[in-house]
Amino acid sequence: MCSRSSTYIISPTPSIFPFPSLGGVNERREISRLFVSCQDESRLNRGGAAISIWRAEQGTGGDPAFESNQGLWNSGYYSQLFGIGGVMVTVAILWLSTGYFGGIGAPFAPYFWPYLGQLPKKKERKRPVRVYMDGCFDLMHYGHANALRQAKLLGDQLVVGVVSDEEIVANKGPPVLSMEERLTLVSGLKWVDEVIPNAPYEITEEFMNTLFNKYNIDYIIHGDDPCLLPDGTDAYALAKKVGRYKQIKRTEGVSSTDIVGRILLTFKQKEAGSMETTTDANQNTGATCDKVKSQLSNFLPTSRRIMQFSNGQAPSPGARVVYIDGAFDLFHAGHVEILRSARQLGDFLLVGVHDDQAIRDRRGYRPIMHLHERTLSVLACRYVDEVIIGAPWEVSRDMITTFNISLVVHGTVTEGSSVVGIDSYAVPKSMGIFQTITSTKPITTVSVATRIIDNHEAYKCVE
Does residue 331 lie in a domain region? Answer: yes
Which of these three, 213, 233, 251, is where a domain ends? 251
The mean of the pLDDT values for the chain is 77
Does residue 75 lie in a domain region? Answer: yes
Q: What is the pLDDT, as a whole number, of residue 46?
A: 44
pLDDT (average), residues 181-204: 96
Nearest C-alpha neighbor of 194 from the set 231, 242, 228, 162: 162
Same domain, 18 and 159: no
Does residue 270 lie in a domain region? Answer: no
Same domain, 106 and 231: no
Does residue 266 lie in a domain region? Answer: no
Lowest mean pLDDT of 62-76, 303-317, 433-447, name the range: 62-76
Does residue 355 lie in a domain region? Answer: yes
Q: What is the pLDDT, as a whole number, of residue 257?
A: 84
Does residue 260 lie in a domain region? Answer: no
Which of these three, 67, 94, 116, is where a domain ends? 116
Same domain, 310 and 390: yes
User: Which of helix, strand or coil describes residue 265?
Assistant: helix
pLDDT tens digits for 103-134?
Answer: 454 455 454 445 555 556 666 778 999 999 99
- Is the separation of the CB atoms in 451 and 267 below 8 Å? no
Which of these three, 116, 141, 160, is where a domain ends? 116
Residue 102 Cα distances to 92, 96, 97, angstroms: 12, 10, 11
Does residue 147 lie in a domain region? Answer: yes
Same domain, 142 and 239: yes
Q: What is the pLDDT, as a whole number, of residue 351?
A: 99
Same domain, 149 and 237: yes
Same domain, 305 and 391: yes
Same domain, 140 and 52: no
Task: For residue 410, give the CATH number of its domain.
Answer: 3.40.50.620
What is the reported pTM? 0.69
Same domain, 112 and 135: no
Does residue 122 lie in a domain region? Answer: no
Which structural domain, as residue segments, surrounds residue 395? 300-449
**Measured on CA atoms in the order 91, 97, 101, 104, is the torsion positive or negative?**
positive
Number of domains in the chain: 3
Same domain, 306 and 444: yes
